[in-house]
C-alpha cells in the first residue's frame, strides 16, 4: 500500500473533497428527515383491522386504506404505503405480483384488494401486529415481536465513532422505508499504481422491516465513485420479545436494546479500522486486480441467486467490455468486474443499489473472515 503523490494525489484529493462536500449536505438532510419521521406505533389485533378504498387527503383520487384503533373503538383509516401493503399481503398468503397487478388497475383493482384482505383476515386465527405509521401513513405491518431500533440514536453512535477515525459522510439516503449513510476516510491510498481508493463504512437500517440493521465496510474508487461493499461488521435482525399491547410498557426494554446496540456499533467501527484489517483489504484489492475472472460464470451465479436479472447482467457485461479508465480500472480481472457491477449499481433504484454493491465487494474479495 502506498499513498499517492504529485499531480495524481492533487486530482484524487480534489475529487474526494467534492464528494465529501456533497455527502455532508446529503447527510444533514437525511438525518433531519429520519428525526422528523419517527414512527408512531400501535399494537393492533388482526380482528380489529379493516381495509377499504377511500379518498385520501393530499392525494388525487382514492387510495387503499387500513382502518384500526388499538383501544377497540371506531377505526381511524390510514393510507397504506406500497411496502406495508406487500407485508399485509404476505401475511395473508397473497402473492405480491397479484397485488401489484391489481394496484395498477386503479379504483376497482384496489377495491378488490381491500375486499379480499377483509375476507381472508376474517378467517385467520386471532393475532396481534405492530403497525408503524409516519404522518398517518402505514409504512410497516409487522410481528408483535419486531425489535424496534432507534435509527437516529444508532446513526449518532456510528457518526461519533467514525469521527474519531477521521471518517466523513460521502453519501446518505433516507428512503420511505430504509436509511443508508456512508462515511469514508479522507485519505486516498493506492493498492496498486494509478488506482486511488478510499475505505469507509456504511450503516443501514429500516424501521419498517425493509432489511436488518447492518454495519459494513466498503472500498470506493475515487475516479468514478464505484463502491464495493465488503464484510458485514454487525448485523442485527429486528426480532425481540413479544411486545405488550401497550407500547409504553415496552419503552424500558426498547431503550436498553438501543443503548446496547449503540455501544456495539462503536466497538465495530473501531475494529474495522485496525491497521491489519486495512492492510488485508488493500491486499485483497491488489489480488483482485491481478486475478483473471470468469465474467459469465460470476454473472450467471448472480442471476441464479436472484441478485441480478438477465438484462442487468448484460448491462454489466457491456460496461466491462467498453468502460474506459475514468469508469473502470484497466485489465481483464476481478477488480475491473467488481467496478463494472458497482458502476451499474449507480443507475438503479436505491432499494436495489446495496445488493449490487455487496456483490461487487464479493467479486473484489472484500468479504474477509473475521
Compute the half-sphere exposure of residue 358: CA atoms within 13 Å on the CB side of its CA: 16
Of 143, 167, 190, the domain-final residue: 143
pLDDT of residue 225: 86
Residue 187 lies in a domain: yes
Over residues 83-133, the pLDDT tens digits come to: 999 999 999 999 999 988 998 888 899 899 999 999 999 988 788 899 999
pLDDT of residue 4: 53
The C-alpha R_g of the chain, in whole angstroms, comes to 23
pLDDT of residue 213: 92
Cα 158 to its chain centre, rounded Å, is 16
Q: Strands 2-3 and 137-143: what pairing?
A: unpaired
Over residues 228-249, the pLDDT tens digits come to: 998 778 888 887 766 666 665 5
CATH number of the domain that 76 lies in? 2.40.50
Terminal C-alpha separation, the chain: 21
Residue 111 lies in a domain: yes
Instruction: Please state, in angstroms and rounded to a whole number, the distance separating the CA atoms of residues 194 and 198.
Output: 13
> Helices in the chain by DSSP H: which ranges?
6-36, 82-92, 96-104, 107-122, 151-164, 251-272, 275-289, 295-305, 310-322, 334-345, 350-363
- The residue assigned the cell 491488489 is 286
Q: Strands 76-79 and 62-68: what pairing?
A: antiparallel
Q: At what angle do helices 96-104 and 82-92 cross, to 10 degrees?
A: 130
pLDDT of residue 71: 63
> Which grid cell is 355?
445488493
Asked whether residue 62 falls in the same domain as residue 173, the answer is: no
Residue 369 lies in a domain: no
pLDDT of residue 74: 79
Asked whether residue 139 falls in the same domain as residue 187, the answer is: no
Asked whether residue 8 falls in the same domain as residue 79, the answer is: no
Q: What is the mean pLDDT of residues 22-51?
A: 92
Q: What is the mean pLDDT of residues 193-200?
A: 89
Please classify residue 120 by burial: count the beta carbons closer than 10 Å to its beta carbon, then call 0-12 exposed, 13-18 middle and 19+ buried. middle
Asked whether residue 154 falls in the same domain as residue 81, the answer is: no
Other CB atoms within 10 Å distance of the CB of residue 192: 17
Of 117, 143, 169, the domain-final residue: 143
Domain that holds residue 352: 2-33+150-363
Asked whether residue 162 falls in the same domain as residue 102, the answer is: no
Asked whether residue 276 falls in the same domain as residue 137, the answer is: no
How many structural domains comprise the chain? Answer: 2
What length is written for the chain? 370
What pTM does this model have?
A: 0.85
Asked whether residue 27 falls in the same domain as residue 124, the answer is: no
Instruction: Please state, in angstroms and rounded to a whole number, the distance separating the CA atoms of residues 370 and 272.
Output: 10
Asked whether residue 173 falls in the same domain as residue 290, the answer is: yes
Residue 104 lies in a domain: yes
**65 close to 54: Cβ distance less than 8 angstroms:** yes
Asked whether residue 120 falls in the same domain as residue 223, the answer is: no
Of 106, 121, 143, the domain-final residue: 143
Residue 121 lies in a domain: yes
pLDDT confidence of 1, banded at 50, 70, 90? very low
Residue 370 lies in a domain: no
Asked whether residue 157 falls in the same domain as residue 91, the answer is: no
Asked whether residue 267 falls in the same domain as residue 298, the answer is: yes
Q: Which residues are registered as beta bridge partners of 229?
A: 218
Asked whether residue 174 falls in the same domain as residue 103, the answer is: no
Residue 368 lies in a domain: no
Exposure class string for 41-79: b at 16+ Cβ within 10 A, else e: bbbbebebbbbbbbebeeeeebbbbbbbebeeeebebbb
Amino acid at each position: 500500500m502506498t499513498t499517492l503523490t504529485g499531480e495524481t494525489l492533487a486530482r484524487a484529493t480534489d475529487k474526494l473533497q467534492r464528494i465529501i462536500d456533497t455527502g455532508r449536505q446529503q447527510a444533514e438532510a437525511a438525518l433531519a428527515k429520519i428525526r422528523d419521521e419517527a414512527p408512531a406505533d400501535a399494537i393492533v389485533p388482526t380482528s380489529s383491522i379493516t381495509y377499504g378504498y377511500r379518498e385520501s387527503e393530499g392525494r388525487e383520487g382514492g387510495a387503499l386504506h387500513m382502518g384500526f384503533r388499538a383501544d377497540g373503538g371506531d377505526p381511524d383509516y390510514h393510507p397504506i404505503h406500497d411496502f406495508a401493503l406487500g407485508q399485509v399481503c404476505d401475511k395473508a398468503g397473497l402473492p405480491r405480483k397479484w397485488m401489484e397487478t391489481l394496484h395498477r388497475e386503479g379504483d376497482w383493482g384496489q377495491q378488490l384488494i381491500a375486499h379480499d384482505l377483509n375476507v381472508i383476515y376474517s378467517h385467520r386465527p386471532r393475532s396481534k401486529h405492530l403497525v408503524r405509521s409516519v404522518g398517518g401513513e402505514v409504512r410497516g405491518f409487522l410481528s408483535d415481536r419486531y425489535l424496534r431500533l432507534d435509527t437516529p440514536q444508532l446513526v449518532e453512535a456510528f457518526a461519533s465513532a467514525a469521527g474519531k477515525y477521521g471518517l466523513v459522510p460521502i453519501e446518505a439516503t433516507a428512503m420511505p422505508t430504509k436509511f443508508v449513510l456512508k462515511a469514508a476516510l479522507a485519505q486516498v491510498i493506492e493498492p496498486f499504481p494509478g488506482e486511488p481508493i478510499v475505505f469507509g463504512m456504511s450503516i443501514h437500517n429500516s424501521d419498517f422491516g425493509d432489511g436488518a440493521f447492518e454495519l459494513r465496510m466498503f472500498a470506493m474508487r475515487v475516479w468514478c465513485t464505484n463502491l464495493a461493499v465488503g464484510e458485514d461488521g454487525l448485523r442485527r435482525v429486528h426480532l425481540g420479545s413479544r411486545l405488550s399491547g401497550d407500547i409504553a410498557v415496552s419503552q424500558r426494554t426498547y431503550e436498553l436494546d438501543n443503548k446496547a446496540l449503540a455501544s456495539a456499533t462503536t466497538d465495530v467501527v473501531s475494529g474495522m479500522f485496525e491497521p491489519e484489517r486495512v492492510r488485508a483489504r488493500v491486499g485483497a484489492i491488489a489480488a483482485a486486480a491481478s486475478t483473471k475472472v470468469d465474467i459469465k460464470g460470476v454473472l450467471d451465479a448472480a442471476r441464479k441467486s436472484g441478485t441480478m436479472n438477465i438484462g442487468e447482467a448484460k448491462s454489466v457485461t457491456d460496461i466491462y467490455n467498453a468502460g474506459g479508465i475514468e469508469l473502470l480500472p484497466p485489465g481483464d480481472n476481478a477488480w475491473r468486474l467488481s467496478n463494472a457491477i458497482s458502476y451499474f449499481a449507480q443507475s438503479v433504484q436505491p432499494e436495489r443499489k446495496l445488493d449490487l454493491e455487496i456483490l461487487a465487494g464479493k467479486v473484489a474479495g472484500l468479504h474477509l473472515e473475521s
